[in-house]
Amino acid sequence: MRVKLDTFLEWILAILLAIMTLDVLWGVFTRYVMNSQSSWTDELARFLLIWISILGAAYASGKRLHISIDLISSHLSDKNKKKLYIFVSLVILLFVLLVFVLGGLWYVYIAFKLGQLSPALQLPMGCVYSVLPIAGLFIAYYKLTDLYCLFINTQSVNEWK
């Protein structure tokens, strides 16, 4: 299941990046060739960048590619490394559930309730903000599978990392 989610996120990120590239190229073309830039290209690029950044963070979390400082873990035994990874995964899981999922859902709800629309595209801002709970659920899934591996799996922490 984890590999399928990784592949899904890879495709979504690639598609969003391709759309953003075409959008920026269109904006440059209309500005410098047609001397009248499209009003919506900057806004769409901004929203796509938000989605790519946050979904990219979820993807990096799933691949365990996120930035980490290993000053402490490099000096620990395998048993203590495992405890540290469990603690870190639990902290990340708690943060993601509270901030990304619950906070993100609240933010989306408020944006839809107020009827907030983007200026150029007239897109409901709740759609833009919905990336927070979506990415939060992806990260939570990844952290839960990491915890499962750490508790159930018999491989060493060095092999797991």
pLDDT of residue 154: 57
Burial 74-108 (b: 16+ CB within 10 A, else e): eeeeeeebbeebeeebeebbeebbeebbeebeebb
- Predicted confidence (pLDDT) per residue in 31-86, tens digit: 999 999 888 999 999 999 999 999 999 999 999 888 777 778 888 888 898 899 99
* Domain spans of the chain, in order of start: 2-160
The model's pTM is 0.90
Q: pLDDT > 70: what percent of the chain?
A: 95
pLDDT of residue 44: 98
Cα dihedral 5/8/9/14 (nearest 10): 160
pLDDT of residue 12: 98
pLDDT of residue 153: 72
Better pLDDT: 156 or 106: 106
pLDDT of residue 48: 98
- Predicted confidence (pLDDT) per residue in 119-155, tens digit: 999 999 999 999 999 999 999 999 999 999 888 875 5
CB 20 within 8 A of CB 46: no
Residues 6 or more apart whose CB falls under 8 angstroms from that of 91 comprise: none
Please state the rounded mean pLDDT for residues 86-108: 97
pLDDT of residue 15: 98
| H runs (alpha helix) in 63-124 | 78-95, 104-114
Better pLDDT: 17 or 83: 17
